[in-house]
A and B are shown apart, each in its own frame.
Chain A
Amino acid sequence: MKMHKASLFGLYAVLELAGDPERQLSATDIADKYGISTHHLAKVLRTLVRSGLVQAVRGAGGGYRFSGVVNRTTLLDVIELFETLESELDTPRPRGQAAGAVIDELQSITREIDDLTKAVLDTITLETALNGSRQRVSA
């Protein structure tokens, strides 16, 4: 599975903000911490704001704040704001039934993989991911 950059940046931002919902951070704060492009992250944050997971705080000292539910929002909820996680088989139009059957079989296998990927990401809440990260820091 190759996650889109926007999904990954979205996860960075949401996890960073959800780690302390009272805290406000700017796009630059988050981008600097993860070594990513502020410009790209700003676009991602706009999507997160539209989804309601993140709130933009205006004015001096403004920034972004987490506004979702940390133990109800899953990693998949964030990722699906940016991509569908459906594998794409770039298959040509098959000639004949046999070729069609091979392509159908391969598509069924990729669907199985996609379903497993989603099942994993859809059961890890932000809270669980944050707890796991904290345990890694203290280990």
Chain B
Amino acid sequence: MTDLVTIRNAVLADLEAVIALDLVGVTEEKPAYWRKIFDRYVTAGKDGGFFLVAETAGEVIGFIVGEVRAWEFGSPPCGWVFALGVSPQSREIGVGELMFKEMCARLKKAGVSIVRTMVDRENKLTLSFFRSQGLRTGRYIELEKLI
């Protein structure tokens, strides 16, 4: 079924579709956040940043955003995936895998050899997806504190 799915760079016209897809996984719409992300990764074409969408029959059914991040907390440059979504009607047919593979190919071409992400531990769906793609707990541990 993924033969009919195309992975391409996002364009400004995809903004509303991405906001709608993101709304499936969150409790509130974040239009201002997505406008900023589009400004940075689509309009300005941030160097080392990639905003991809999955499309079938002219409809956007998924998105993934990632970039090369360098030297945060001493980490050598690595790929960082910070947004991912697939329409509930298009899940379990390999759309997420297609997008993630393309993202990894782009990141690798940009010069990094490791990809990282961060997911809420209660978000089993997304965590299971990344696990299925071969990601494991990494060497950096996320720490937090109420302030």
> Which residues of A are at the interface with B, using a C-beta cutoff of 8 A?
71, 74, 115-116, 119-120, 122-125, 127-128, 131-132
CA distance A119 to B121 in the complex (A): 6
Where chain A touches its partner, the secondary structure class is helix
Task: Output the least CB separation between B101 and chain A (Å).
Answer: 14
Where chain B touches its partner, the secondary structure class is helix
Q: How many A-B residue pairs have CB under 8 A?
A: 23
Interface size class of B (residues with CB under 8 A): under 10
> Which residues of B are at the interface with A, using a C-beta cutoff of 8 A?
92, 121, 124, 127-128, 131-132, 134, 137
**B124 cross-chain contacts in A, Cβ below 8 A:** 122-123
Task: Output the least CB separation between A26 and chain B (Å).
Answer: 31
A120:B137 contact, CB within 8 angstroms: yes
From known contacts A120-B137, A123-B127, infer whether A131 and B132 are also in contact, taking CB-CB under 8 Å: yes
CA distance A45 to B121 in the complex (A): 30
**A122 cross-chain contacts in B, Cβ below 8 A:** 124
A125:B121 contact, CB within 8 angstroms: no
Residue of chain A at shortest CB distance from B120 = A119
**B92 cross-chain contacts in A, Cβ below 8 A:** 71
CA distance A119 to B128 in the complex (A): 10
